[in-house]
Amino acid sequence: MPRADAEERRLYNQQYYMSNREALIAKQLAREQANPEKHRALGRAFHARHKKRLNAARKARLAARPENRLHAQFLSRFRHHGMALDQYHARAEAQDFLCAMCGNEPRPFRSCYDGFHIDHDHATGKVRGLLCAHCNMAIGMIDDSLVNAERMVTYLLMHGAC
């Protein structure tokens, strides 16, 4: 196909898409909903074939704008636990935007160690609450164990901490 013909075809396709956008999107959504497993398999196959290019583009986007990296870290924090953004905000509001354990405000979100951390039961995956970084690490260090927590309290009491 000569170059001029390819350009004409591209312009025609672009105009066709713009004039029939809603119908085309509805048709695509209907195909995806009719066979979601096939749609997911096609998506996984595409990502497997184009992994290097997609990763390079993602890294370039994040490098170009550092706030994108923070935003991606923030979004992955609650998506990993199956929470929607509005659920995350509702839980934070229910806790008065304070750590569920110590009652302190978390540090402003500037890195992956700041902001709220989603505390969850590792056995069931159930979300327990939103914690500051220190409380989240403390629970992780004692392996979510009440026995270890009681030992820590006993230790602190033995050495006069109050």
The answer to whether the pTM exceeds 0.75 is no
Q: What is the DSSP string of 51-104?
A: HHHHHHHHHHHHHH-HHHHHHHHHHHHHHTTT--HHHHHHHHHHTTTS-TTT-P
Structural domains in the chain plus CATH codes = 1-49 (no CATH), 66-162 (3.40.1800.10)
Alpha carbon distance 29, 21 (integer Å): 12
> What pLDDT is attached to residue 110?
63
Mean pLDDT of 136-141: 89
- Quote the tokens at residue 160: 């006069």
Integer angstrom CA distances of residue 3 from 7, 11, 37, 154, 156: 6, 12, 38, 79, 78
Cβ atoms of 46 and 53 closer than 8 Å:
no
Quote the percentage of the chain above a pLDDT of 90. 38
- In this predicted model, which residue has the larger pLDDT, 59 or 20? 20
pLDDT digits (tens, 9 = 90+) for 59-100: 888 788 877 777 777 777 777 888 888 888 899 899 999 999
Q: How confident is the model at residue 124 (pLDDT cuts 50, 70, 90)?
A: confident
C-alpha dist (Å) from residue 123 to 83, 129, 135: 17, 15, 19
